[in-house]
Structure 1
Amino acid sequence: MTDHSGLNIEHGFEIIPGGAANEAAGHEISAPEDDSRLAAAAELKPVIEFARALAKAVKAARMYPANNPIYARFQTELQEKLGTCFADSSGIRLVIGQHRLFCQGECVYESGDPEDNLARLFFRDGIRELTFHAGIDRSEMARFLDMVRATSARESIEDLVTQLWDDSLPHVTYIAIDDILDQGIGNEPVPAEFGSDFMNYVDFETDFNELDDDVVPDAAREEAVTRAGEFHRQLMESGDRRILSLSVAEEATLRPEVESEDQAGLVLRVLDTFFDVIEQDSDPSTRGVIIAVLEKALVSLVAQRQWMAAGHILRAVTDLIERRPDLVEMHGQAIDAILTTSTDETRREALCEALNRTIVAAPDSEEGYLSAIRPEGVTALCELLGVVESRRGRMALVNTLVRIGRGNLDILLSHLRDERWYVVRNILLVLGRMKATVAVRHIQPLVTHEDLNVRREALAALSQIGDGEAVDALLALLRDSDPRIRVSAARSLSHLGKRAVNPLLQIILANDFDSRPLEERRGFFESLGRTNSPDVLPFLKMLLGKKPLFKKKEAEEMRVCAVEALARMRGPQVKALLDLALTDPSSIVRAAVAGAQKRRDDEVPDDV
């Protein structure tokens, strides 16, 4: 069945090309494959720009009074985008999904912010299609924006559908869930997702559907939706406001959390508005003032430990730098001031305090700030590595440096000469994770560093880099004068798997290997086992079978070493060889097998 706007109704849900029907019915659909997940079709570009302008205008309507010049500029931009669309068509028909807007089956708008998501706002009020027709003027659009503002700010006791019905805007038409249900559907039952119960608690369902799939199982989600809907139905039918009651203590706990969430959302919306004005305002002096205000806001937010909001400023600055080189050229000094302030001494002290916390709740985490720091902050983060004491904090710094340090390798390499061993160790960890091949010649001398932790991390970094000069360096270290370095190099090489077998066997088969200390020999065999290569099994089987009349002690020690290698391996052939070793006449070998089997049952192979 088709209504006057061309919407097709079949069995109570909307059929839209490209899968938009599914989202319009409350089901998520897979997004387009491109990075922005927005429609790439050239003919829809004006609609995409209109949808963005509409979202900005709605946000401005919530932030400014109707006579504010900034709000007026957003209205002007919106009318311009409308005019561009109407040059090629007589109307803009938007299908409303839970989180996206669609046109002609393609996604033309989406937002990751649930507070400012235009699609979510329309969807929650039951609107499933919205059409703007040619002829809509500025005053009519202003009335529409005011309705949306009143609904989102909860100033109106009526939802958006009711307001549209009452005001009857001549050039704005819509289809809501009620309209869909009013269509004749014969004897077919109304689908559950569009039933009256759904209409009673659509807000509950959309809220629960936004929960993370990995955190909340489907069964728990469905049960929560059902229970929430039942409570809401009882509330609507009985008028009893005491169905869900809170104790004084519970209210005292919940109220600060709710107020904190509201405040955080408001701060982000204000910041977004500032950046919108920077992009929209044609007056350089106005933009300069706002950029200066943003720097002060960053200082204030960090002082209050509002890390997420402070990071929001840095991410928006990064976005501005990437998209608007013209503004960067004009206001480069002011923008640089924000970036410099973000990691200056005062901000570093605040970060150090935050990073030294051992237990951190997600809303209070400094991760939102660290993840937004730009490459210009590498030096500051390296300095923090020398003062942050908690392992959690150090790892957060390491992860950030891995992300932003590639273009600043000279700074990282300079810190390899730091007198503090723990700084050097952590920089080595960064370079290894970055697989920075150019750092190999700087890392190699550190395998003889006076501190054991640095030596181990240097070898680990070389094995992580794992190519070219790094492998050559590890191979050379197999013949180092210090047996501890030789064993550590062997263990690092073992991470290369089958590629490490031949170099290790060359050392093991060398004439002087039998005369080396037993601990070193066991270390090389353990490394050979860690490669888990089946190529070594014939060699190990041969060693287990050697029971000469002379040099019994040496042969016995080599069989123990073979057992050590097998203890680090996995596979049915390995178990068979260990069972064979259990029949060895030497009690020392049999004891080694028993220990190996216990380790295999209790542990996973350890790491370097």
Structure 2
Amino acid sequence: MALSNIISHESRQVRQNVLKIMAEMGKASLTVFSQILNNNEYFERAESRRELPDEKWYVVRNSIFVLGLLNDPEACRALRVRINDSDTRVRQAIVQALEKIAGEEACDLLLVLADDEDREIRESAIIALGLVGNPDMAPELIELANNRRSDIVCLINALGKLGGSEAKNFLGNLLIDQQLQSQFTSGRSSREDLKIATIRALGRIGDKESLKKIKKFSESLSTSQKILFGGSKLSKTAEEILSRYDN
């Protein structure tokens, strides 16, 4: 296909100009680049290799890029076919494209990628869900937190961006429930990390109920707790957030 040669042209300027034009062609481009993703020849590699050969990767990468720029939910059908590809670059490119597309179908695929075997892919997908998801997705992220506990801080941040009653309830409980905190404490996240992330997430939601949870937690800290065990940082974080809403 001549197009595959053009979109993988050695000149970056030529590639960018062609991709820009293709992204403006709507359904025609959707058909062309969906065909590329559905063509197994572009995804063949040696059995011992997880990554695609460079010449195939450039075509696949640029095809995914254009599908993202189209902002068409139908592009999700083609992207879905490759969300389990062994090349992490392919999956990462799909996350970026789905973030651009947004909408329910894109978010469904992002939820799948948020449970990917690769931590960087998971975190990218979770961040994307926080940006383009909606409050109704909070229960699924909370369930994911129980399965992927090492990603808890990233998930807390996403819940803060989504908002909604489910997110607020989970974050409020996490802030004060030591047993719940213990479940999510790992080598990557301490109790202090969890609490600070939770305070900031509730602050991002920023409604009266969320601010009340922050204030109640801050007031529950004794003087000694504020001095010891990271309490000073917790108290300062809570006070900074509450001060934004005082006026």
TM-score between the two structures when normalised by the length of structure 2: 0.63
Tell me the SS of whatever aligns to 2:142.
Answer: helix
- Is residue 212 of structure 2 the alignment partner of residue 591 of structure 1? no
Aligned to 1:483: 119
Q: Is 1:428 the counterpart of 2:33 in the alignment?
A: no
How many pairs does the alignment contain? 214
Decide whether aligned partners of structure 1 residues 383 and 591 sit closer, same or farther in structure 2, where only a CA change above 3 A counts.
Answer: farther
Superimposed CA distance per residue, residues 191-240 of structure 1 (whole angstroms, 9 cap, x where no aligned partner): xxxxxxxxxxxxxxxxxxxxxxxxxxxxxxxxxxxxxxxxxxxxxxxxxx
Residue 387 of structure 1 corresponds to: 10
Q: Specify the alignment match of 2:93 in structure 1.
A: 457
Gaps of 5+ in 2: 43-53
8 Å CA contact 2:175, 2:217 repeated in 1: yes
Which of 383, 390, 409 is the equivalent residue of 2:30?
Answer: 409
Pair 1:566–1:388, CA change in 2 (3 A): farther
Please state if 1:507 is matched with 2:144: yes
* Distance 1:560-1:451 versus aligned 2 partners, 3 A rule: same
Instruction: Give the aligned partner of residue 108 of structure 2.
Output: 472
Structure-2 separation of matches of 1:469 and 1:552: 31
**Structure 2 CA distance, aligned partners of 1:596 and 1:393?**
48
Q: Measure the CA separation in 2 of the matches of 1:441 and 1:406.
A: 14
Q: Is the 8 A contact 1:459 1:488 kept in 2?
A: yes
Amino acid at match of 2:75: A
Match 2:75 to one of 429, 433, 439: 439
* Correspondences of 1:264-279 after superposition (within 5 Å): none
Distance 1:538 1:572, change over 3 A: same
Gaps of 5+ in 1: 1-377, 602-608
Q: Alpha-carbon deviations, 1:463-522, whole Å to 9, x = none?
A: 4444565443333334333333333332232312223212112223x3x55xx32xx111
How far the C-alpha of 1:415 sits from its partner, in A, is 4.8
Going from structure 1 to structure 2, the CA distance change for 1:426 and 1:566 (only over 3 Å counts) comes to farther
2-structure distance, mates of 1:571, 1:472: 27
CA distance in 1, matches of 2:239, 2:56: 41
Offset from partner CA, 1:368-392 (integer Å, 9 cap, x none)? xxxxxxxxxx9659715543436x9
> Could you tell me how far 1:458 is from its partner in structure 2?
0.6
Q: What does 1:268-307 align with in structure 2 at a 5 Å threshold?
A: none
Corresponding letter in the other structure for 1:425? R
Output the TM-score relative to the length of structure 1.
0.29
1:413 positional shift: 3.1
Q: Which residue of 2 aligns with 1:149?
A: none
Q: Which has more strand, going by share of residues?
A: 1
Asked whether the equivalents of residues 7 and 15 of structure 2 are also in contact (C-alpha less than 8 Å), the reply is: no
**Residue 497 (structure 1) aligned with residue 134 (structure 2):** yes
Question: What are the residue-to-residue correspondences of 1:119-198 with 2, within 5 Å?
Answer: none
Contact 1:478 1:485 in 2 (8 A): yes
| Higher-RCO chain (CA-CA 8 Å, sequence separation at least 6) | 2
Higher helix share: 2
8 Å CA contact retained: 1:447, 1:458: no
Q: Name the aligned partner's letter for residue 389 of structure 1.
A: R
Percent identity, aligned pairs only, is: 21
Q: Structure 1 pair 592/455, CA: closer, same or farther in 2 (3 Å)? A: farther
